[in-house]
Amino acid sequence: MAYSDGSTPELGDRVRHLASGKIGRVANVQLTAGDTPGHDQISVEPEDGSVGVDVALADEYELVERGQIKW
């Protein structure tokens, strides 16, 4: 599955986690991969200055902005 709005994940997308509201940039995309077949898995680098990369299913996020990779 794609983002909650149906868009297919792309590197550099700016996304918002639906539950926490945390915003970040997509650092890695694995379409129809991960532990849940049929779901897209993404890695998100948070913009709030926290350390680490969140790995999650894309449908837990919504697309905020599509643009260039900025890291």
14/35 Cα distance (integer angstroms):
24
What is the DSSP-derived secondary structure letter of residue 9?
A: P
Q: What is the pLDDT of residue 64?
A: 94
More confident residue, 70 or 63: 63
Three-state secondary structure call for residue 59: helix
For 44, the domain range is 14-65
* Number of domains, the chain: 1
In a domain, 28, yes or no: yes
Q: Does residue 8 fall inside a structural domain?
A: no
pLDDT in tens, 7-53: 889 999 999 999 989 999 999 998 776 566 677 889 999 988 887 77
- Identify which has the larger pLDDT, 64 or 39: 64
The answer to the question of residue 71 being in a domain is no
Q: Is residue 7 part of a domain?
A: no
User: 5 in a domain, yes or no?
Assistant: no
